[in-house]
Amino acid sequence: MPRVTFHLARADNGVIGKDGKLPWHLPADLRRFKAQTMGKPMVMGRKTFESFPSPLPGRRHIVLTRDTGWSAEGAEIAHSPEDALALAGDEVAVIGGAEIFALLLDRADRIELTEVHVDAEGDATVPGFGTGWREVAREEHASEAGRPAYSFVTLERAA
């Protein structure tokens, strides 16, 4: 089985997205996401893939979709979680959305989470990560320039 790492930003109230976009703009979070996923295969849902203006450079885009007729330039298509992980190989970055996180949660080894300290409005949510996970790193960032405070948190599956 590949090493599966989730990468997501989540508001205090569980929101991860609104109308196919992030409900906040945190440049440091985007830089962290890029650094952590560069060179890795990324598994995502169709809506997440379609939210990008174009495929992200330097990464493979494995799109997990139920739609057998869907295709897009730059996307490798999988129709089951098993197929997506098989395409990915040894290490995979799972980047969303909410349905994909739910489908693959039992296979995740690590979570790279940005806790955005705001109650955001949105239409995509992910429940908190509690039992079964242990925090191994945390980096706090204060609110500035009208942006909310946030924390970079690394969780690993508890033994």
Q: Can you list the domains of the chain with their CATH numbers?
A: 3-129 (3.40.430.10)
In the structure, what pLDDT confidence band is assigned to residue 9 with cuts at 50, 70 and 90? very high
For residue 8, how many other CB atoms are within 10 A of its CB? 21
- Residue with the bigger pLDDT between 130 and 33: it is 33
For residue 25, how many other CB atoms are within 10 A of its CB? 12
In the structure, what pLDDT confidence band is assigned to residue 75 with cuts at 50, 70 and 90? very high
Dump pLDDT digits (tens) for 112-131.
999 999 999 999 999 999 88
- pLDDT surpassing 90 at residue 80: yes
Report which of 108, 93, 21 is spatially closest to residue 61, judged by C-alpha positions: 93
Per-residue pLDDT at 48? 96
- pLDDT surpassing 80 at residue 79: yes
- Kindly state the average pLDDT of the residues 54-70: 97
CA distance 37 to 5: 10
Residues of the chain with pLDDT > 70, as a percent, come to 100
Dump pLDDT digits (tens) for 85-94.
999 999 999 9
- pLDDT surpassing 80 at residue 133: yes
How far from 109 is each of 4, 47, 93, 100, 132, CA to CA, in Å?
5, 24, 11, 15, 10
